[in-house]
Chains A and B, each alone.
Chain A
Amino acid sequence: MSVIEVNELSKVFQVPKKEPGLVGAVKGLFRPRYEDKQAVNQLNFQVEAGEIVGYIGVNGAGKSTTIKMLTGILMPSGGTVRVLGRDPHRQRVENAREIGVVFGQRTQLWWDLALIESLNLIAKIYDVPPARYKTALEQFTETLELGDLLNVPVRNMSLGQKMRSELAAALIHQPKVVYLDEPTIGLDLIVKERIRDFIKMECGSKGMTVMLTTHDLGDIEELCQRVIIIDGGHVIYDGPIETIKKRFGKFREITFETVEKAKPLDLPEGAETLLAEERKVQIRFDRTVSTASQVASAVMNQIEVKDFSLSEPDLADIVKQIYNGALDMEAK
């Protein structure tokens, strides 16, 4: 049995529809009209025990809505969710005992109190046996470098310190399932690195099942073997991260800075213009069909080039292309 099972899961929100103008505003007071907004549309996926799954999509794609339904806080409009065999909404309290949650943009710590107070209370709430709590606390103090923070009120912490504390608070009761909603948002590279290391080590060694949403593809590359990409409430990709890299890895991009104004160009087979601006041309080519020198010389024959650079597409570009239907085209 999978740890997380999502079947035909849908969520429709009713958003008030505002009519323009004063008349519309007055009408809205008496008879508010609502519009249905489909946030999540017939999602299907399973997550097995011990998997770390990257759950990605643009803002408004339905990531947080899905996570909220998985935690049980949000009631689905259709379809079913099972987490460890339970319906998380109906059995919210039982489910809550087994899960750990970090919402990157809000805190679960007591703002005015020293971190240690929050952790003590959380350990009580989740019935962590004192001996196990002590060991976990010692270990977290070391791996998350909390030593100097335990007696600091959360309101006095920096963003990075706060996030390390949040992780400790979410994992201190050793949950079986962990939801991390943008755990590295707004952090600098060093803190990001430390947090990724911690997640990898802590969740990996304890066999926790992790769903991770993020806009930072570095997180995904570092932590996840599998990604689920959603857009418009649909799954548009679900599979190993390697496939994505391989499928898009055969492409390269050349960016030319031109002296004269960019114009339509004749390109060798397998190459296409991605972008043509005032003095900048960006071309993508399939390196199994053409070579970089073929593309470069073709361009240089037609237009005066000041500078150019060659780049491998990073995951951000790949995701953007999937959004734009690149995977559909590949499939055809």
Chain B
Amino acid sequence: MIQTLNRRFSVYSALFAMIPKMFMAYQLWFWAGMVMNIISITILYFFWDAIYANSAAISGLTREQTINYILLAFFFMPLVGNDLLWEFGSNLREGLMIHHLLRPVNFQMMNYAQQLGGLVTRMAFQLPIIVLAVFLFDLKFPSDLNTWVAFLISALLGFTAMFFFSWVLACMTFYTTEIWGLGVLIEGITIFFSGSLVPLAMMPEWLRTIVLSVPFAQALAVPVGLLSGITPLSDAPRIWLIQLVWIAGMGVLSNLVFHFAVRKITVQGG
């Protein structure tokens, strides 16, 4: 039992470790992303600075709280933005899905390990920008260890829920074969619904209800709320519980949807 677990772990950690190497394959992409990010945070900072020019607080949030939240949400965007959809799309178009399905490992776990690798890599690439923001825009991180732990647990749970949800969306590519439109649409929805543009507290009640009834915010607004101090630490257990429910629901749904979608290949021959 232990041995099997050990072996599984070594397979999935090897898959995990492939991702940073793949990212490094395109150095230009890395530098271009860096420049884009610097421009983005500068715009975000001055945009929210201007909004607070005439008011001390909006929806109960001070200027410092909001800017801190917005910057943190920007850095932790990788939590919500996995590229499962593109992955499925290109695999299906190039007929590579067959090879993945023929590996003697669980296909979903294999993808989870790789998306987790993608998350860690993307976060590592954000580090220089984070340092820059600390100096330029007075970005603040909590010093309290408990807040960090609460955040990390919630981030991992939210990321996992979002992974399963993306899996359901990615299964659509089995039917559409075209992914560009779907991908761009979902990216747009993700940016808004994850709470990366506007803090949830500033949304009208009805909109917040909608946002909280889809899983995007679970992976970003919810954990970043804890980290930025907008959400009190005492809420953490309740948040984790809700996220676990999301994971359970989306986990079951994703397997169900995949079971039918994969028949495109296993029954109809792809």
Chain A residues at the B interface, C-beta cutoff of 8 Å:
11, 13-14, 39, 65, 68, 71-75, 89, 92-94, 96-97, 99, 101, 103, 105-108, 110, 112-113, 117, 120-121, 124-127, 153
Contacts and interface: CB of A to CB of B under 8 A. Distances in A.
A125 B266 contact: no
B25 interface: yes
Interface in B1-35: 7, 10-11, 14-15, 18, 21-22, 25-26
A74 B266 contact: yes
Given A39-B269, A71-B98, 11 more contacts: A14-B268, A65-B269, A74-B267, A101-B99, A107-B99, A108-B99, A110-B18, A113-B25, A120-B14, A125-B11, A125-B104
Contacts of A71: 98, 102
Contacts of A11: 269
Contacts of A110: 18, 22
A313 to B, nearest CB: 35
A124 B25 contact: no
A108 B96 CA distance: 7
Interface string B85-121: 0000000001110110111111000000000000000
A238 B207 CA distance: 68
A96 B25 contact: no
A125 B98 CA distance: 16
26 contacts: A13-B269, A68-B269, A72-B102, A74-B269, A75-B266, A89-B266, A92-B102, A93-B104, A94-B104, A96-B102, A97-B104, A99-B102, A101-B102, A103-B95, A103-B98, A106-B96, A106-B99, A108-B96, A117-B18, A120-B14, A121-B15, A121-B18, A125-B11, A125-B14, A125-B15, A125-B105
B96 A73 contact: no
B14 A112 contact: no
A153 B102 CA distance: 23
B152 interface: no
B21 A13 contact: no
Contacts of B21: 113, 117
- A14, A89, A93 — most chain B CB neighbours (10 Å): A93
A255 to B, nearest CB: 41
Contacts of A120: 14
Contacts of B197: none
Contact of B266 (A39, A73, A94, A124): A73
Nearest to A126: B104
Given A75-B267, A112-B22, A125 B101 contact: no
Contacts of A39: 269
A109 to B, nearest CB: 9
B245 to A, nearest CB: 30
B25 A153 contact: yes
B18 A113 contact: yes
Contacts of A105: 95
Contacts of A112: 22, 25-26
A70 to B, nearest CB: 11
A129 B11 CA distance: 13
Contacts of B133: none
Nearest to B263: A75
B265 interface: yes
A103 B10 CA distance: 27
A110 to B, nearest CB: 7
5 nearest A-B pairs in the assembled complex, by CB-CB distance: A112-B25, A108-B99, A96-B104, A97-B104, A124-B14
A117 B26 CA distance: 16
Contacts of A106: 94-96, 98-99
A110 B103 CA distance: 14
B223 to A, nearest CB: 31
Nearest to A96: B104
A113 B95 CA distance: 19
A71 B267 CA distance: 14
A113 B98 contact: no
B98 A68 contact: yes
A26 B143 CA distance: 63
Contact of A107 (B7, B96, B101, B102): B96
A126 B102 CA distance: 11
B155 to A, nearest CB: 27
A112 B20 CA distance: 11
